Structure 1
Amino acid sequence: MKLYRRHTLSLAIAAITAGAVPTVFAQQPQLEEVIITGTRVADRSAADSPVPVDVISGSDFRVNGSTDIQDMLRTQVPSFDINSQPISDAATIVRPPNLRGLSPDNVLVLVNGKRRHRGSIISFLGGGISDGAQGVDMAAIPSLAIKQVEVLRDGASSQYGSDAIAGVINFLLRDDAEGFEVVARYGSTTEGDGDNYMVSANLGLPLGDSGFLNITGEMRDVEGTVRSVVRDDVAFAEANGYNAVSDYQLINSYTGEVPQYWGQPDVDDDVKLFFNAGFDINDNTELYAFGNYAERSVEGGFFYRNVVGGPSSQRGGVYAGPTVDPATGLAADGGVASVLVGDLDGGSSCIDGIPLGGSGGVIPDPTLLAAVSADANCFSFIETIPSGFVPRFGGDNEDMALAVGIRGNFELGSGLYYDLSAQRGSNRTDFFIRNTINASLGPATPRDFIPGGQEQTETVYNLNFSYGLDVGLASDLNIAFGAEYREEEFDLFAGDPASYALGPLASQGFSSSSNGFGGFPNDTSASQDNTAFYVDLEADFTDQLTLQAAVRNEQFSNFDGTTNYKLAGIYKVTDSFRIRGGFSTGFHAPTAGQANITNVTTQNVNGVLIDQGTLPLFSAAGQVAADYVESFGNGRPELGPEEAENYSFGIAFDIGNSTWTIDYYDIEVTDRIALGANVDFLAALNFAGGGTDYMTVSEALTGLDAAGVIDRQDFIGLDDLSQFRFFTNSFDTRTKGVDLVGNTYFDFLSGSSTLTVAFNYNDTEVTDRGDINPISDGRVEALEELLPNIKGNVSWSHSQGKFRTLLRANYYGDWTSTSNGYDVDAAILVDAQVAYQLNDSLELVAGVDNLFDEYPDETPNPGSLGQLYPEDSPFGFNGSTWYLQGRYNF
Structure 2
Amino acid sequence: MLPISTTVQRRSRLALAIGPLAALFLAGAQGAEAARQQYHLAPGPLDEVLLSISRQSGQVISFTPQLGNYSSARVDGALSAEQAVAAALRGTGLQLQVSPDGAFIIKEGPQPASATGSKAKAQASEAAAPTLDRVVAIGTRRSDATALTSAAPVDVINSEELVQTGATSLNQALFQLLPSFNFPQNQSATRGQNPKGASLRGLSPDQTLVLINGKRRHASAVVNISGGVPFIGAQPVDLDMIPISAIDHVEVLRDGASAQYGSDAVAGVVNIVLKERDSGGQLNTQLGQYAQGDGFSKSADGWYGLGLPGDGFLTLSFNGLNNKPTDIGDKYEAGGQLQDPRWGGASRDKYNLAANAEVGLSDQWRLYSFATFGQDKSVNNTPPLLASNPNNVASIYPNGTIPKYRYRYEDGALTLGSRYEDESIGRFDLSATYGRDKHDELAFNTVNPSYGANSPTKFDVATLINEQTNLTLDYAKDLDVAWSEHPLTVSAGVAYRDEQYRLEEGDYSSYSFGGIDGVQVGAVQASGLTPDDAGTYKRHVGGVYFGLENQVTDKFQLGLAGRTEHYSDFGSATTGKLSARYDFTPQVGLRATVNNAYRAPTLGQIGTSWTTTTNVDINGNPVLTRMLPADHPAARALGAQPLKPEKSTNYSLGLVLRPSEQASLTIDAYQISIRDRLLYSGGISGPDAERILSEAGFGQYTWAQFMTNAADTRTRGVDIVGKYNLDLQRYGALSLSAGYTKARTTIEKIHSNPFGFDVLTREAQGFLEHGYPEDKLVLGAIHRYGPWTIALSETRYGEYRKYAASAANAQYDQTFSAQWNTDLDVNYAFTRQLRLSVGANNLFDSKPDDFNTRLRQTPGQQYSYLSPSAPEGAFYYTRLSYDF
Q: TM-score, normalised by structure 1?
A: 0.80
> Is contact 1:107-1:168 (8 Å) kept?
yes
Deviations 1:397-427 (A, max 9, x none): 1000000011111332xx4111110010001
Show structure 2 runs of 5+ residues with no match.
1-35, 53-64, 72-91, 93-129, 805-811
Alignment partners' CA distance in 2, 1:721 and 1:229 = 29
Q: Percent identity?
A: 29
Alignment partners' CA distance in 2, 1:17 and 1:664 = 36
Letter in 2 for 1:389: T
Structure-2 residue corresponding to 1:437: 447
> Is contact 1:603-1:609 (8 Å) kept?
yes
Structure-2 residue corresponding to 1:52: 153
Whether 1:794 and 2:779 are equivalent positions in the alignment is: yes
Alignment partners' CA distance in 1, 2:690 and 2:779 = 59
Alignment partners' CA distance in 2, 1:560 and 1:684 = 33
TM-fit CA distance, 1:294 = 0.3
TM-fit CA distance, 1:158 = 0.6
Structure-2 residue corresponding to 1:342: none
Whether 1:774 and 2:759 are equivalent positions in the alignment is: yes
Choose the corresponding residue for 1:286, options 348, 366, 369. Answer: 366
Alignment partners' CA distance in 2, 1:610 and 1:865 = 15
Alignment partners' CA distance in 1, 2:47 and 2:244 = 16
Structure-2 residue corresponding to 1:759: 740
Alignment partners' CA distance in 1, 2:584 and 2:227 = 45
Letter in 2 for 1:259: D
Structure-1 residue corresponding to 2:404: 392
> Is contact 1:227-1:877 (8 Å) kept?
yes
Structure-1 residue corresponding to 2:663: 658
CA distance change for structure 1 residues 609 and 659 in 2, over 3 Å: closer, same or farther? closer
Choose the corresponding residue for 1:136, options 225, 237, 244. Answer: 237
TM-fit CA distance, 1:580 = 0.3
Whether 1:5 and 2:40 are equivalent positions in the alignment is: yes
> Is contact 2:45-2:70 (8 Å) kept?
no
CA distance change for structure 1 residues 849 and 590 in 2, over 3 Å: closer, same or farther? same
Whether 1:95 and 2:193 are equivalent positions in the alignment is: no
Alignment partners' CA distance in 2, 1:686 and 1:267 = 43
Q: Superposition pairs for residues 261-410 of structure 1, below 5 Å?
A: 261-268=342-349, 270-308=350-388, 315=389, 317-318=390-391, 381-410=393-422
CA distance change for structure 1 residues 661 and 793 in 2, over 3 Å: closer, same or farther? same
Whether 1:866 and 2:860 are equivalent positions in the alignment is: yes
Letter in 1 for 2:657: F
> Is contact 1:679-1:723 (8 Å) kept?
yes
Choose the corresponding residue for 1:742, options 722, 735, 739. Answer: 722
Judge which range, 86-95 or 864-873, deviates more. Answer: 86-95
Deviations 1:98-119 (A, max 9, x none): 2211111101111000010000
Letter in 1 for 2:440: D
Alignment partners' CA distance in 2, 1:610 and 1:757 = 45
Alignment partners' CA distance in 2, 1:827 and 1:16 = 40
Structure-2 residue corresponding to 1:73: 174
Alignment partners' CA distance in 2, 1:536 and 1:123 = 35
SS in 2 for 1:872: coil
> Is contact 1:451-1:495 (8 Å) kept?
yes
> Is contact 2:405-2:443 (8 Å) kept?
yes
> Is contact 2:610-2:628 (8 Å) kept?
yes
Structure-2 residue corresponding to 1:645: 649
Alignment partners' CA distance in 2, 1:97 and 1:808 = 21
TM-fit CA distance, 1:94 = 1.5
Deviations 1:286-319 (A, max 9, x none): 10000111001022221122334xxxxxx4x515
SS in 2 for 1:839: coil
TM-fit CA distance, 1:609 = 14
Q: Superposition pairs for residues 520-531 of structure 1, below 5 Å?
A: 520-522=529-531, 523-531=534-542
TM-fit CA distance, 1:655 = 2.0
Report how many aligned residue pairs link the two structures.
759
Alignment partners' CA distance in 2, 1:857 and 1:695 = 41
Structure-2 residue corresponding to 1:341: none
Alignment partners' CA distance in 2, 1:871 and 1:26 = 40
> Is contact 1:831-1:850 (8 Å) kept?
yes
Alignment partners' CA distance in 1, 2:613 and 2:607 = 20
Letter in 2 for 1:640: K
Structure-2 residue corresponding to 1:500: 511
Structure-2 residue corresponding to 1:832: 824
Alignment partners' CA distance in 2, 1:102 and 1:770 = 19
Deviations 1:824-862 (A, max 9, x none): 111111111211110011011111111111111222449
Q: TM-score, normalised by structure 2?
A: 0.81
Structure-1 residue corresponding to 2:525: 516
Structure-1 residue corresponding to 2:78: none
> Is contact 1:794-1:808 (8 Å) kept?
yes
Alignment partners' CA distance in 2, 1:96 and 1:686 = 38
CA distance change for structure 1 residues 126 and 274 in 2, over 3 Å: closer, same or farther? farther
> Is contact 1:84-1:264 (8 Å) kept?
no
SS in 2 for 1:150: strand
Structure-2 residue corresponding to 1:109: 210
Letter in 2 for 1:880: A
SS in 1 for 2:334: helix
Structure-1 residue corresponding to 2:273: 172
CA distance change for structure 1 residues 14 and 737 in 2, over 3 Å: closer, same or farther? farther
Letter in 1 for 2:750: R
Alignment partners' CA distance in 1, 2:465 and 2:227 = 19
TM-fit CA distance, 1:231 = 1.1
Q: Superposition pairs for residues 75-224 of structure 1, below 5 Å?
A: 75-84=176-185, 86=187, 89=190, 92-125=193-226, 127-224=228-325
SS in 1 for 2:606: helix
> Is contact 2:45-2:69 (8 Å) kept?
no
TM-fit CA distance, 1:598 = 3.1
SS in 1 for 2:148: helix
TM-fit CA distance, 1:774 = 3.1
> Is contact 1:583-1:646 (8 Å) kept?
yes
Whether 1:843 and 2:823 are equivalent positions in the alignment is: no
Q: Superposition pairs for residues 451-462 of structure 1, below 5 Å?
A: 451-462=461-472
SS in 1 for 2:384: coil
CA distance change for structure 1 residues 855 and 15 in 2, over 3 Å: closer, same or farther? farther
TM-fit CA distance, 1:728 = 2.4
TM-fit CA distance, 1:525 = 1.2
> Is contact 2:762-2:803 (8 Å) kept?
no
CA distance change for structure 1 residues 210 and 518 in 2, over 3 Å: closer, same or farther? same
TM-fit CA distance, 1:57 = 0.8
Deviations 1:39-80 (A, max 9, x none): 011121111110001111111122112211111010111111
Whether 1:886 and 2:867 are equivalent positions in the alignment is: no
CA distance change for structure 1 residues 78 and 869 in 2, over 3 Å: closer, same or farther? same
Alignment partners' CA distance in 1, 2:727 and 2:430 = 47
Structure-1 residue corresponding to 2:107: none
Choose the corresponding residue for 1:813, options 798, 801, 804. Answer: 798
Alignment partners' CA distance in 1, 2:260 and 2:361 = 29
Show structure 1 runs of 5+ residues with no match.
239-244, 246-257, 309-314, 320-380, 631-635, 688-693, 699-717
Letter in 2 for 1:727: M
Alignment partners' CA distance in 2, 1:843 and 1:783 = 44
> Is contact 1:456-1:490 (8 Å) kept?
yes
TM-fit CA distance, 1:678 = 6.1
> Is contact 1:228-1:867 (8 Å) kept?
yes
> Is contact 2:226-2:614 (8 Å) kept?
no
Q: CA RMSD in A?
A: 3.2
